[in-house]
């Protein structure tokens, strides 16, 4: 390697020629994966001019069908609606305004699903389309309904095909990307493996667009700021995300207990190669246990509405002792959140320690911060709970 990055496995794919795969020690994450989410990026689905690459789509669909035939549960998260719409409308430049993007996506989405229905149908499978916005996953009841729909499609032997609802979700087009969506879907169904297919072989120790001698990293245990900086780079003309969004998606999935592989979707048989521990690609090793569904929802699907700063003792009790947060440990309150909102719990330096559902609004918490629990009814005139955040509603940050 040209340099060492913390949290990265040092073997390279060059060692595969000698019969050893850098993924061999982690084979269980790939061989035994029962639930698999495969995200296919726009650059994989389309030619540089934006038109659909039908031969590649057919190859990837065939691989997904083969995986489903093994008895694994598969979800396809697909990009390409705007790219397909550009092709159908004869556009050579990606639209810039939000209404124009929405219109182009509306045209492209039907074309994209038409092709998936035809290709999967040739192998005896039907598809079920889910167009999601972030709100569908943040609202608890809708979140559970989305999960139930995917599970019902599996029972009906159908392949769920997921995309962002670009035609109505302004924020998703403006800031979102399907790497994040894929990670959220993987968490929604407690997937064992998330495969992100793009136009790159994986994560490098430096930006390969700048340094052609950059080294591909086969295994990553921790996503550090140094790694994010090293792997930076812009997305393509037709896509919306670069490597930075893929790393954030991998970080989210790893914390939830899902393994992630980033690989090149143009390589023949890439999905089967991943399951057989063959590269090239980058494997992100998850934490030991899957996070419970409710805690995943708190940690990844709900935006933080404010911050609660705690002293050193309270921070240690949360992180090391698995305790609830009491008012006595709170030293500052930031924001204007309400009871039931998600807040960040930070230490005295501002580092995030945890996230959780708060039992008191910001104005109430400011009055009782630093006080003991028996003082709460005296100060407020009532007491909902002893805890500011109960440990059952608290997720420790990785």
Name the 3-class secondary structure at 93: coil
181 near 77, Cβ under 8 Å? yes
d(CA 183, CA 162): 12
| Same-domain check for residues 330 and 236 | no
| Same-domain check for residues 168 and 26 | yes
| Same-domain check for residues 18 and 148 | yes
283 near 39, Cβ under 8 Å? no
Which of the four pLDDT bands, split at 50, 70 and 90, describes residue 381? very high
Query: Is there a domain that residue 1 lies in?
Result: no
| Same-domain check for residues 330 and 223 | no
- The predicted-structure confidence for 138-148, as pLDDT tens digits, reads as follows 888 999 999 99
Which of the four pLDDT bands, split at 50, 70 and 90, describes residue 389? very high
Answer with the one of 295, 319, 335 that is the final residue of a domain: 295
- pLDDT over threshold 50, residue 17: no
- pLDDT over threshold 70, residue 82: yes
- pLDDT over threshold 90, residue 374: yes
Q: How many residues does the chain have?
A: 398
Which of the four pLDDT bands, split at 50, 70 and 90, describes residue 1? very low
pLDDT at residue 295, as a whole number: 87
| Same-domain check for residues 242 and 343 | no
pLDDT at residue 386, as a whole number: 95
178 near 164, Cβ under 8 Å? yes
Q: What is the CATH number of the domain that holds 79?
A: 3.40.1160.10
Name the 3-class secondary structure at 160: strand
- The predicted-structure confidence for 92-106, as pLDDT tens digits, reads as follows 788 888 888 889 889
Answer with the one of 239, 261, 295 that is the final residue of a domain: 295
Q: What is the CATH number of the domain that holds 375?
A: 2.30.130.10
d(CA 341, CA 259): 29
Averaged pLDDT for residues 342-370: 96
d(CA 376, CA 214): 58
- pLDDT over threshold 70, residue 272: yes
φ and ψ of 108, to 5 deg? -70, -30
pLDDT at residue 237, as a whole number: 36
The domain of 351 spans 303-396
Neighbour count for residue 99 (Cβ, 10 Å): 9
- pLDDT over threshold 90, residue 153: yes
- pLDDT over threshold 80, residue 170: no
Query: Is there a domain that residue 27 lies in?
Result: yes
Averaged pLDDT for residues 251-275: 94
Answer with the one of 295, 311, 327 that is the final residue of a domain: 295
Name the 3-class secondary structure at 318: helix
Domain total in the chain: 2
Range of lowest pLDDT (54-68, 239-253, 302-316): 239-253
pLDDT at residue 2, as a whole number: 41
Query: Is there a domain that residue 35 lies in?
Result: yes
pLDDT at residue 12, as a whole number: 64
- pLDDT over threshold 90, residue 218: yes
The beta strand positions in 152-247, using DSSP E, are 158-164, 193-198, 203-204, 216-217, 219-220
| Same-domain check for residues 267 and 317 | no
d(CA 186, CA 192): 8
| Same-domain check for residues 111 and 208 | yes
- pLDDT over threshold 50, residue 175: no
Give the whole-number percent of the chain exceeding pLDDT 90: 57
Q: Following CA atoms 83, 85, 91, 94 in sequence, which dihedral angle do they give, to the nearest 10 degrees? A: -40
- pLDDT over threshold 60, residue 9: no
What pairing do the DSSP bridges indicate for beta strands 352-357 and 330-335? unpaired
Range of lowest pLDDT (20-24, 188-192, 260-264): 20-24
pLDDT at residue 64, as a whole number: 97
pLDDT at residue 155, as a whole number: 95
- pLDDT over threshold 70, residue 83: yes
């Amino acid at each position: 390697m040209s340099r060492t990055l913390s949290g990265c496995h040092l073997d390279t794919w060059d060692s595969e020629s000698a019969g050893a795969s850098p993924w061999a020690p982690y084979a269980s994450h790939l061989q035994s994966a029962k639930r698999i989410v495969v995200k296919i990026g726009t650059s994989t689905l389309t030619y540089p001019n934006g038109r659909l690459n039908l031969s590649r789509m057919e190859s990837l669909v065939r691989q997904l069908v083969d995986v489903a035939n093994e008895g694994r549960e598969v979800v396809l998260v697909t990009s390409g609606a705007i790219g397909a719409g550009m092709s159908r409308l004869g556009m050579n430049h990606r639209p810039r305004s939000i209404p124009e993007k929405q219109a182009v996506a509306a045209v492209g989405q039907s074309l994209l699903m038409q092709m998936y229905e035809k290709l999967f149908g040739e192998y005896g499978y039907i598809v079920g389309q889910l167009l999601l916005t972030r709100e569908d996953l943040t609202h608890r009841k809708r979140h559970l309904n989305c999960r139930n729909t995917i599970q019902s499609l599996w029972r009906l032997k159908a392949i769920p095909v997921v995309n962002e609802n670009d035609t109505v979700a302004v924020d998703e087009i403006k800031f979102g990307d399907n790497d994040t969506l894929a990670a959220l879907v993987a968490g929604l169904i407690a997937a064992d493996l998330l495969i992100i297919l793009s136009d790159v072989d994986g994560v490098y120790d430096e930006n390969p667009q700048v340094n052609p001698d950059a080294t591909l990293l086969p295994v990553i245990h921790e996503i550090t700021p140094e790694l994010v900086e090293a792997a930076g780079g812009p997305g393509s003309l037709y896509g919306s995300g670069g490597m930075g969004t893929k790393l954030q998606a991998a970080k989210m999935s790893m914390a939830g207990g899902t393994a992630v592989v980033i690989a090149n979707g143009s390589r023949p048989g890439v999905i089967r190669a991943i399951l057989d521990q063959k590269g090239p690609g980058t494997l992100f090793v998850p934490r030991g246990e899957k996070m419970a569904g409710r805690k995943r929802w708190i940690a990844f699907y709900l935006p933080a509405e404010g911050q609660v700063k705690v002293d050193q003792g309270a921070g240690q009790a949360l992180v090391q002792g698995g305790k609830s947060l009491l008012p006595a440990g709170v030293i500052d309150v930031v924001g204007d959140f309400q009871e039931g909102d998600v807040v960040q719990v930070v230490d005295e330096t501002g580092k995030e320690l945890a996230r959780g559902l708060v039992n008191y609004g910001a104005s109430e918490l400011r009055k009782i911060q630093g006080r003991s629990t028996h003082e709460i009814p005296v100060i407020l005139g009532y007491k909902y709970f002893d805890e500011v955040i109960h440990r059952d509603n608290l997720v420790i940050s990785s």
